[in-house]
């Protein structure tokens, strides 16, 4: 991998902050982890059909999320980072989220994957492109069946 010594550590620090911000539902702090000077951001959460390609759309999505999910917890692991240019890094990671969400009688959660492009700015690495890559339905079903086996079966 084309890395420099502190790249993974620096990216992990940003993602740890992202995790804390989601867990606190702190939209302002979350937005601060993005390169706000980018005129063409790209954001594709799993539950949105088409990518969000401007700041107004991204902020509207975050506002709607905050209004419909009063509690969320996220856990991030398996962070991989590689330089993609002088000031760009290609990042992938796994994450799990749990949420209390409007319209659901019980909390919901899922495992997911993400890929992101980070840009190095004077204040540190910031996200500029982001996409979530959920598992295919057949993989979700297999995990459901595997996780449904009684503990005393083994």
CATH number for the domain including 142?
3.10.450.50
What number is the average pLDDT over the span 13-24? 96
Q: How far apart are CA 33 and CA 40, in angstroms?
A: 16
Q: How far apart are CA 77 and CA 50, in angstroms?
A: 26
What confidence tier does 67 reach under pLDDT thresholds 50, 70, 90?
Answer: very high
pLDDT value at 76 more than 70:
yes
What number is the average pLDDT over the span 124-148? 92
What residues does 117 pair with on adjacent strands? 90, 129
Task: Quote the number of domains for the chain.
Answer: 1
Is there a domain that residue 118 lies in?
A: yes
Predicted pLDDT of residue 140? 83
- Give the DSSP letter of residue 87: T
Q: Is the pTM for the entire model greater than 0.85?
A: yes
Residue bearing the bigger pLDDT, 124 or 28: 124
pLDDT value at 3 more than 60:
no
Domain that holds residue 14: 7-153
What confidence tier does 104 reach under pLDDT thresholds 50, 70, 90?
Answer: very high
Is there a domain that residue 82 lies in?
A: yes
Is there a domain that residue 1 lies in?
A: no
pLDDT value at 73 more than 50:
yes
Predicted pLDDT of residue 28? 85
pLDDT value at 149 more than 80:
yes
Is there a domain that residue 21 lies in?
A: yes
Q: Which pairing describes strands 71-85 and 42-44: parallel, antiparallel, or unpaired? A: unpaired
Q: How far apart are CA 134 and CA 138, in angstroms?
A: 11
Q: How far apart are CA 100 and CA 81, in angstroms?
A: 31
What number is the average pLDDT over the span 88-98? 97
Is there a domain that residue 95 lies in?
A: yes
Task: Round the average pLDDT of the chain to a whole number and report it.
Answer: 93
Q: How far apart are CA 26 and CA 45, in angstroms?
A: 17
What number is the average pLDDT over the span 137-143? 89
Is there a domain that residue 2 lies in?
A: no
Is there a domain that residue 127 lies in?
A: yes
Is there a domain that residue 129 lies in?
A: yes
pLDDT value at 105 more than 50:
yes
């Amino acid at each position: 991998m084309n890395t420099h010594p502190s790249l993974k550590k620096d990216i992990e620090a940003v993602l740890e902050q992202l995790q804390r911000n989601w867990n606190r539902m702190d939209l302002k702090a979350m937005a601060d982890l993005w390169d706000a000077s980018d005129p063409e951001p790209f954001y594709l959460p799993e539950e949105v059909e088409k990518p969000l390609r401007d700041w107004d759309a991204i902020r509207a999505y975050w506002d709607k999320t905050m209004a419909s999910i009063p509690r969320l917890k996220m856990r991030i692991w398996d962070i991989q980072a590689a330089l993609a240019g002088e000031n760009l890094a290609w990042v992938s990671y796994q994450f799990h989220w749990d949420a209390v969400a409007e319209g659901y009688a019980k909390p919901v959660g899922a495992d997911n994957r993400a890929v992101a492009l980070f840009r190095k700015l004077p204040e540190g690495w910031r996200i500029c492109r982001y996409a979530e890559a959920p598992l295919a339905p057949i993989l979700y079903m297999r995990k459901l069946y595997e996780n449904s086996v009684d503990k005393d079966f083994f």
